[in-house]
Amino acid sequence: MIIMNLNNPRDEVQRKKKKRIEKDYEIPKTHPRYKSLQLRENISEGVLKGITAPEGLIAHGRGETFDYILGEKTIAPAKNANRTAAAYLLLAKNPVISINGNVAALIPEEIIKLSKAIPAKIEVNIFHYSMVRFKNIIQQLKKYGAAEVLAKHRDKLIPGLDHARAKCTAEGIYSADVVLVPLEDGDRAEALRNMGKIVITIDLNPLSRTAKMCNVTIVDNIIRALPLLNENVEILKKSNKTELRKIIDTFDNKKCLKDVLIEINQYLSSYKF
């Protein structure tokens, strides 16, 4: 039995690479589940690199289950929520993107692209906290082009959270008016809402506390949602504030979640065995 030493992630990464070479292991692009398997590999590599917590593997698998019953595509309610999220981010005075280990492992390049396009600050906030993993996530983001990641002075606390996640920076999450929290936990989403912030999430589970607590819930796979969010930001940059506000005012998150459930029901009802 191999015991992973997360304090020495580089050794484990090299061990895994060597093992692959020895077995000539490679996911063939012709495999019908290639994209799904590649995402699992990215998460696994994230664990070995000390970016993703082992518990993140469970969270990813749970999300993948919901993606199946969405038909593994971006449905209409998700597109509507995505467009609304872009409008909120563009109107924000101090938008912040909160990053955890799964996000850093799965789609760092799109996160950096989004932060520059809005522009928005990036801050790391993780549930299973360790200083080593915290630093590894920052390094991962900088590797993909992040100019700055807020982390040094986490001198503020989010009220209502008895956990390391309560710690945040004054210039980032604490003073943000709009926070994008992809793959988030419901209690922190609720705590941020209680602070008066607009909270946007990407969550494949429309029944989760996170989904219900946020102002905007994009029920979609993050690897589809982030590129689309970047597209919407670029398109809506041409809109004036009145047009952006109209998009926001016509959005109802509760209705959006109900529409998602209707879409799921229709998909399952028409599923052919």
Q: Which residue is associated with the tokens 């209502």? A: 160
- The reply to whether 63 falls in a domain is no
Asked whether residue 45 is domain-assigned, the answer is: no
Residue range(s) defining the domain that contains residue 155: 76-266
227 inside domain? yes
Examine residue 230 and state whether it is found in any structural domain, yes or no: yes
If one counts the domains in the chain, the total is 1
Closest CA to 125 of 179, 177, 87, 62: 179
Q: What is the pLDDT of residues 66-88, one digit of tens each?
A: 998 999 999 999 999 999 999 99
Assign residue 179 the CATH number of its domain: 3.40.50.12640
- Which backbone phi and psi does 214 adopt, to 5 degrees? -80, 160
Domain-located, residue 127: yes
167 within some domain: yes
Q: Assess if residue 71 is contained within a domain.
A: no
pLDDT in tens, 204-221: 999 999 999 999 999 999
pTM: 0.84
Residue 104 lies in a domain: yes
For the stretch 95-144, pLDDT in tens is: 999 998 888 888 899 999 999 999 999 999 877 677 778 888 888 899 98
